Chain A
Amino acid sequence: MTTTLARDAAPPDAAIRPRPSKWVWSWTGAGVFAVAALLLVVVGYLVAGISSGSVDWTALLTDASWSPPNAAYGGLAMIYGTAVVCALALILAVPVSWGAALALSEYLPPRVARLLRMCVELLAAVPSIVYGLIGIMVIRPVVAWIGDVPGGDSLLAAGIVLAVMITPTIVAVSVDALTAVPDRYREAAFSLGLTRREVIRSAVLPLARPGMRSAVLLGLARALGEAIAVFLVVGRADGRLPTSFDGFLHSLVHPGQTLTTKLAGPEPVLAGTSGPYFAALCGLGLVLLAFVAAATIWGTRGQKRGTSDKRAPAFRGAPRMRVERDRLAMGLRLGALLLPTALLLGMLALLVTRGSSAFNPSFWFTSATGAAGGGVRDQIVGTLLLIVTTGLIALPLGFGAGILIGVHASERVARLLQTLTIVLGGAPTILLGLAGFVILSSTMGWGRSWLAGAIVLVPVVIPVIALATSARVRSMPPELTESALSLGLTRAQFIRSVVVPYAWPATLTGLLLGLARAAGETAPLLFTATVFFGAPAFPSGVVESPVQALPTHIFTLSQDSGDPQAVTQAWGSAMVLVLITAVLLSAAVALRNRFEGERWTT
Chain B
Amino acid sequence: MDNVIAVRQLRVLSRDKTLVGPVSFSLERGSTTGLCGPSGAGKSTVLRALVDLLPTGLTRDGDLQVLERPIAPGKGDADLRAKIVLVPQTPVVFGGSILDNALFGLRHILRAPREVLKERAEQALREAGLWKEVSDRLDSPAQNLSAGQRQRLCLARALALEPECLLLDEPTSALDEQSRDTVEQSIAALRGSRTVLLVSHDPAQVERLCDTTVHLDQPATVSPAAAAVS
B residues 140-177 in Cβ contact with A at 8 Å: 141, 143, 154, 157-158, 161
In the bound complex, how far is the Cα of B94 from the Cα of A255, in angstroms? 50
Assuming A193-B85, A193-B161, is B108 touching A188 (CB within 8 A)? no
Interface string of B49-65 (1 = CB under 8 A from A): 00101001000000000
A192 touches B157 (CB 8 A): yes
- Residue B110 is within 8 A (CB to CB) of chain A in the complex: yes
In the bound complex, how far is the Cα of B97 from the Cα of A2, in angstroms? 67
**Residues on B with beta carbons closer than 8 Å to the beta carbon of A313:** 96, 100, 107
Pick from B88, B110, B141: contact of A188, CB below 8 A: B88
**Residues on A with beta carbons closer than 8 Å to the beta carbon of B53:** 187, 190-191
A192 touches B104 (CB 8 A): yes
B94 touches A202 (CB 8 A): yes
**Residues on A with beta carbons closer than 8 Å to the beta carbon of B78:** 193-195, 198, 322-323, 326
B100 touches A317 (CB 8 A): no
B56 touches A193 (CB 8 A): no
**Residues on B with beta carbons closer than 8 Å to the beta carbon of A323:** 78
Pick from A191, A310, A315: contact of B51, CB below 8 A: A191
In the bound complex, how far is the Cα of B57 from the Cα of A109, in angstroms? 10
**Residues on B with beta carbons closer than 8 Å to the beta carbon of A326:** 78
B92 touches A109 (CB 8 A): no
Q: Closest residue to A326 on the B side, CB-wise?
A: B78
**Residues on B with beta carbons closer than 8 Å to the beta carbon of A184:** 88, 90, 92
Q: In whole Å, how far is B210's beta carbon from the nearest beta carbon of chain A? A: 21
- Residue A305 is within 8 A (CB to CB) of chain B in the complex: no
Segment with Cβ contacts to A, from B18-26, B66-74, B111-119, B126-134: B111-119
Q: Closest residue to B141 on the A side, CB-wise?
A: A310
**Residues on A with beta carbons closer than 8 Å to the beta carbon of B80:** 193
B97 touches A312 (CB 8 A): yes
Pick from B56, B85, B111, B112: contact of A192, CB below 8 A: B85
In the bound complex, how far is the Cα of B56 from the Cα of A316, in angstroms? 33
**Residues on A with beta carbons closer than 8 Å to the beta carbon of B90:** 184
- Residue B16 is within 8 A (CB to CB) of chain A in the complex: no
- Residue B206 is within 8 A (CB to CB) of chain A in the complex: no
- Residue A141 is within 8 A (CB to CB) of chain B in the complex: no
A191 touches B86 (CB 8 A): yes
- Residue B224 is within 8 A (CB to CB) of chain A in the complex: no
B95 touches A317 (CB 8 A): no
Q: In whole Å, how far is A480's beta carbon from the nearest beta carbon of chain B? A: 27
A side interface size, CB within 8 A: 33
- Residue B87 is within 8 A (CB to CB) of chain A in the complex: yes
- Residue B109 is within 8 A (CB to CB) of chain A in the complex: yes
Interface string of A360-380 (1 = CB under 8 A from B): 000000000000000000000
Q: In whole Å, how far is B215's beta carbon from the nearest beta carbon of chain A? A: 24
A310 touches B108 (CB 8 A): no
In the bound complex, how far is the Cα of B164 from the Cα of A588, in angstroms? 53
Pick from B56, B92, B117, B141: contact of A185, CB below 8 A: B92
- Residue A412 is within 8 A (CB to CB) of chain B in the complex: no
Q: Closest residue to B55 on the A side, CB-wise?
A: A183
Q: In whole Å, how far is B20's beta carbon from the nearest beta carbon of chain A? A: 18
Pick from A110, A192, A307: contact of B105, CB below 8 A: A192
Pick from B92, B95, B110, B161: contact of A310, CB below 8 A: B95
**Residues on A with beta carbons closer than 8 Å to the beta carbon of B110:** 317-318
**Residues on B with beta carbons closer than 8 Å to the beta carbon of A191:** 51, 53, 81, 85-88, 158
Q: Closest residue to A311 on the B side, CB-wise?
A: B95
Q: In whole Å, how far is B114's beta carbon from the nearest beta carbon of chain A? A: 6
A317 touches B107 (CB 8 A): yes
- Residue B82 is within 8 A (CB to CB) of chain A in the complex: yes
- Residue B136 is within 8 A (CB to CB) of chain A in the complex: no
Pick from B79, B81, B94, B97: contact of A190, CB below 8 A: B81
Q: In whole Å, how far is B113's beta carbon from the nearest beta carbon of chain A? A: 7
- Residue A189 is within 8 A (CB to CB) of chain B in the complex: yes
Pick from B51, B108, B111, B158: contact of A194, CB below 8 A: B108
**Residues on B with beta carbons closer than 8 Å to the beta carbon of A206:** 94-95
**Residues on B with beta carbons closer than 8 Å to the beta carbon of A198:** 78, 108
Interface string of A95-125 (1 = CB under 8 A from B): 0000000000000011000000000000000
**Residues on A with beta carbons closer than 8 Å to the beta carbon of B96:** 310-313
Assuming A190-B53, A312-B100, is B81 touching A318 (CB within 8 A)? no
In the bound complex, how far is the Cα of B58 from the Cα of A109, in angstroms? 13
In the bound complex, how far is the Cα of B138 from the Cα of A315, in angstroms? 14
A202 touches B81 (CB 8 A): no
B92 touches A202 (CB 8 A): no
- Residue A320 is within 8 A (CB to CB) of chain B in the complex: yes
In the bound complex, how far is the Cα of B90 from the Cα of A198, in angstroms? 21
B79 touches A193 (CB 8 A): yes
In the bound complex, how far is the Cα of B157 from the Cα of A194, in angstroms? 13
Q: In whole Å, how far is B55's beta carbon from the nearest beta carbon of chain A? A: 8
Other A-B contacts than A193-B109, A206-B94, A317-B107, 18 sampled, CB-CB below 8 A, are A185-B92, A185-B94, A188-B92, A189-B104, A190-B53, A191-B53, A192-B81, A192-B157, A194-B81, A202-B108, A307-B95, A312-B95, A312-B96, A315-B114, A315-B117, A317-B113, A322-B108, A326-B78
A-B CB contact pairs (8 Å), 27 listed? A110-B56, A184-B92, A188-B92, A191-B85, A191-B86, A191-B87, A192-B105, A193-B80, A193-B85, A194-B78, A194-B81, A194-B105, A195-B108, A203-B94, A206-B94, A206-B95, A307-B95, A310-B141, A310-B143, A312-B100, A313-B100, A316-B107, A317-B112, A318-B109, A318-B111, A320-B111, A326-B78
B residues lining the A interface (CB < 8 Å): 51, 53, 56, 78-83, 85-88, 90, 92, 94-97, 100, 104-105, 107-114, 117, 141, 143, 154, 157-158, 161
List of 5 A-B pairs having minimum Cβ-Cβ separation, nearest first: A193-B82, A192-B105, A191-B86, A188-B92, A317-B111
